């Protein structure tokens, strides 16, 4: 079952704060937000409305593949950006950093396209699970291990529409 971890009010306050921090770093500058689908679609839509800078939004979808028998952390582009990011201020918007493999690969891919600045804004950082070195420049919540859903984050594609962020717990853990 689901146990509420962050309410919609907690999330709204945190997203507003993230927006302020981004604005402060990019005074009078244009920003291109890169929403990593699918998990970041709700976070991105709220975040960009908290940033007053002239902004554009583009979308990218990648899939991780690999298992113990192959190399873990391969990332394949399923849907690429439509915008050219060369010389742009780019902020990658990610719902959650877990092992860090996805973001690390995406960051490397986007850096080859020579953006002016490349920052990472992550709503949730599950730092204890990190397998590669990668840090968010703007991080909303840092959490311990645990399976979270809601606010765009899924379990088997469900719960993305849950307005709060919840942790999946066993009945006897409640």
Q: Which residues are catalytic?
A: 98
> Of these, 38, 107, 113, 127, which contacts ligand PRP (CB under 6 A)?
38
CA gap 173, 166 in Å, rounded: 14
CA gap 39, 153 in Å, rounded: 5
CA gap 126, 102 in Å, rounded: 13
Tokens in use for 123?
Answer: 């709503």
Using rule CB under 6 A, residue 123 touches ligand PRP: no
> Of these, 6, 32, 34, 39, which contacts ligand PRP (CB under 6 A)?
39
CB 66 within 8 A of CB 73: yes
DSSP label of 26: S
Query: Candidates 12-20, 31-39, 138-146, 166-174 — which segment interacts with ligand PRP by CB under 6 A?
Result: 31-39
> Of these, 19, 100, 115, 140, which contacts ligand PRP (CB under 6 A)?
100
Using rule CB under 6 A, residue 22 touches ligand PRP: no
Which is closer to ligand PRP, CB of 26 or CB of 159? 159
Of 52, 71, 62, residue with least CA distance to 110? 62
Binding residues for ligand PRP, rule: CB under 6 A, are: 36-39, 64, 94-103, 154
């Amino acid at each position: 079952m689901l146990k509420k971890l962050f309410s919609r009010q907690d999330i709204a306050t945190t997203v507003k704060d993230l927006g302020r921090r981004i604005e402060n770093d990019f005074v009078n500058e244009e920003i291109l937000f890169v929403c990593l689908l699918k998990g970041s679609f709700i976070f991105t839509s709220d975040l960009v409305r908290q940033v007053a800078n002239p902004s554009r939004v583009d979308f990218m979808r990648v899939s991780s593949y690999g298992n113990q028998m192959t190399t873990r952390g391969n990332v394949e582009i399923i849907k690429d950006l439509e915008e050219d990011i060369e010389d742009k201020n780019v902020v990658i918007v990610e719902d959650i950093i877990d092992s860090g493999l996805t973001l690390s690969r995406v960051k490397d891919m986007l850096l080859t396209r020579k953006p002016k600045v490349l920052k990472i804004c992550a709503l949730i950082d599950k730092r204890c699970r990190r397998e590669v070195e990668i840090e968010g420049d703007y991080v909303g919540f840092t959490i311990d291990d645990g399976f979270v859903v809601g606010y765009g984050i899924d379990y088997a594609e469900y719960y993305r529409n849950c307005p709060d962020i919840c942790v999946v717990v066993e009945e006897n853990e409640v």
